[in-house]
Amino acid sequence: MDRKQSGLIFFAIVSFLLYAFGVQLFESVWSFPSIRKVPLMVIALVGTGIFATVRLGFPQIKYLRHGINVTSGKYDNPDDKGDLSHFQALTTALSATVGVGNIAGVATALYYGGPGALFWMWVTAFFGTTLKYAECTLSVKYREINSQGFTAGGPMYTIENGMGKQWKWLAIAFAGFAIICSFATGNAIQSFTVSDQIYSESLQLFGPDHFLTMKRSFLDLFQFSFQQVLNGIILSAVVGLVIIGGIKRIGQVTGYLAPIMAVIYVISAVLILIYHYDKVMSAFALIFNGVFNPTATVVGAGGGALMTMLNTMLMGVKRGLYSNEAGQGSAAIAHSTAKTNFPVREGAVAMLGPYIDTIIICTLTGLVIICTGAWKHTEYYASITASTLDEFNTAIAKGSFRDLDLINGSLLTSFAFKNGLQWLFNFGDKIITLSVLLFATSTAISWSFYGDRSTEYLFGEGAIYWYRIVYIVFVFIGANAGIEAVWAFGDAALGFMTFPNLISIIFLTGALKKMTKKYFKEDYDSKS
């Protein structure tokens, strides 16, 4: 059975299961099997990260400086195989990760899991750095060159070419869930966040009764406004113009966009923390105290101290993965395009991703939200004043906190930035609007490439055109439709595409260790 037939069977099975059992079946990967058990996804990610880190000798520490040198262009050779420079490959991967996860994802984690969730994001990032090194090194090692001369790589090729043909079913599963994830977390969620952020700004300017912002019903299925329709059209056009040009145009756009948007965001966050310098140490204290003693004012809590702690861990790991994609395997598709004849070299570059994305940018976001008090009090959602766990659980039982779900966390971050920058100017929230626009658009652009390569793997090069058409349509849909189900199914797809990648890392860790040892012993300074 060829890949195309296998791919069609895969989507038929997933569609049937989704129809028969709903999103809940797929969400099981993130759920608690019982009150005394940690979710399987947490065990798989952190466990594999620890295993690979110990087996490879802590590469995230030993080879970090080398990764910086490679990224700077020290070892660039235009004659090497590949499509993008080391820097462009990194920025393409970062453009997919530095996005809504850094703004909305961190806010969501803190809102539901409390400050302690940020610690678990750090843990996920630290051990995830090794996973990023492993998956990207292997993707370069086992990549292929397609009929047009472009690289085709990623965990699906690693599994099939590195583990053997008997594992092709696992490669097909990864590619299938990667396509699904590209439509959900990489696309619809991004366009929804941008559209909702712009709609919120329009409400402040025009009010709810203006023809642009007035909500209208569509077949009693969902509500939309002309503003959101306009947002969807513009976003679809922008994304479409870039992705139609393929990986080289994507690399060119993200090579400029990613650094600019990161600098703007980081400078703004640093200014807030400088002004609130007296609260920074207290914020770190809340983070570390909240790891095993989560505050009772956490919306996602309930069910006792153990479940509250597990909830904090879950939110941190879940949003940590969504933020840096370490272990997920998606970034490996971007890094597999790097111009290099040494797979380990690009693996070292890839390690910079979690440091930049989670350790720096997510930490800054989390500290801003904590220092400004936005994590526990926001004008958009709820003011939670419970002082004890019993008081909190009583409020839940009475329904006091019912329907207080934080659907768009970027608005909470906007609240934090607006309050945090009031000493300097009164439009701090506009920085988040700009950041969301740049971050989410770049993420959608980069994720289209991941879907491209997964589609090519399953259905051939001819299917890429149709994939891009559907992808552009999903940008428009995401800007206008309700996003709860998309978040749920996207999280599930993200989890399920992670397992095949983790299995390949565990299976090939021995070969990876030999490659690493050989490179730093024999090929370290080679440019050919």
Between 463 and 299, residue with greater pLDDT = 463
What tokens were used for 89? Answer: 């490959």
pLDDT interval class at 339 (50, 70, 90)? very high
For residue 172, give the nearest of 464, 463, 454 by alpha carbon.
454
Q: For residue 528, is it within any domain? A: no
pLDDT at 152 over 60: yes
| pLDDT at residue 36 in the model | 45
Residues 6+ apart with CB under 8 A from 285: none
pLDDT interval class at 195 (50, 70, 90)? confident
| pLDDT at residue 301 in the model | 46
- Rounded CA-CA distance 29/493 in Å is 9
Q: How many distinct structural domains can be found in the chain?
A: 1
Q: For residue 169, is it within any domain? A: yes
pLDDT interval class at 390 (50, 70, 90)? low
Q: For residue 291, is it within any domain? A: yes
Between 87 and 446, residue with greater pLDDT = 87
The per-residue pLDDT for range 240-298, each reduced to its tens digit, is 887 776 656 666 666 666 677 778 888 999 999 999 999 999 889 888 887 776 654 45
pLDDT at 402 over 50: no
| pLDDT at residue 123 in the model | 86
Per residue, the 3-state secondary structure of 253-268, as one string, reads HHHHHHHHHHHHHHHH
Q: What is the pTM of this model?
A: 0.82
| pLDDT at residue 294 in the model | 61
For residue 232, give the nearest of 248, 247, 246, 218 by alpha carbon.
218
**Out of 309-313, 435-439, 447-451, 472-476, least confident range:** 309-313
pLDDT at 428 over 90: no
| pLDDT at residue 50 in the model | 93
- Rounded CA-CA distance 364/225 in Å is 34
Question: How distant, in Å, are the alpha carbons of 208, 283, 392, 407, 415 from that of 381?
Answer: 18, 22, 16, 10, 11
Q: For residue 203, is it within any domain? A: yes
pLDDT interval class at 383 (50, 70, 90)? very low
| pLDDT at residue 389 in the model | 46
What number of residues does the chain have? Answer: 528
| pLDDT at residue 60 in the model | 92
Structural domain harbouring 228? 3-523
DSSP symbols for 137-194: HHHHHT-EE-TTS-EE-SHHHIIIIII-GGGHHHHHHHHHHHHHHHHIIIIIHHHHHH
For residue 235, give the nearest of 469, 35, 440 by alpha carbon.
440
The enclosing domain of 150 has a CATH number of 1.20.1740
The per-residue pLDDT for range 470-512, each reduced to its tens digit, is 999 988 888 877 656 566 666 677 777 888 999 999 999 999 9
pLDDT at 56 over 90: yes
How big is the CA angle at 264 (ends 259 and 266), to the nearest 5 degrees?
A: 90
**Average model confidence (pLDDT) across the chain:** 79
pLDDT at 29 over 50: yes
| pLDDT at residue 325 in the model | 77
Between 325 and 219, residue with greater pLDDT = 325
pLDDT interval class at 311 (50, 70, 90)? low
DSSP one-letter code for 302: -
Select, from the ranges 132-136, 258-262, 329-333, the one with the highest average predicted confidence (pLDDT).
Answer: 132-136
Task: Specify whether the CB–CB gap between 250 and 446 falls below 8 A.
Answer: yes
Select, from the ranges 86-100, 174-188, 267-281, the one with the highest average predicted confidence (pLDDT).
Answer: 267-281
pLDDT at 65 over 60: yes
What tokens were used for 344? Answer: 């380990």
Task: Specify whether the CB–CB gap between 161 and 507 falls below 8 A.
Answer: no
Q: For residue 179, is it within any domain? A: yes
Q: For residue 329, is it within any domain? A: yes
pLDDT at 99 over 60: yes
Question: How distant, in Å, are the alpha carbons of 74, 119, 281, 317, 374 from that of 138?
Answer: 22, 29, 40, 24, 41
Question: How distant, in Å, are the alpha carbons of 114, 194, 264 from that of 251?
Answer: 37, 22, 20
What would the mean pLDDT of 37-60 be, rounded to a whole number? 85
Q: For residue 92, is it within any domain? A: yes
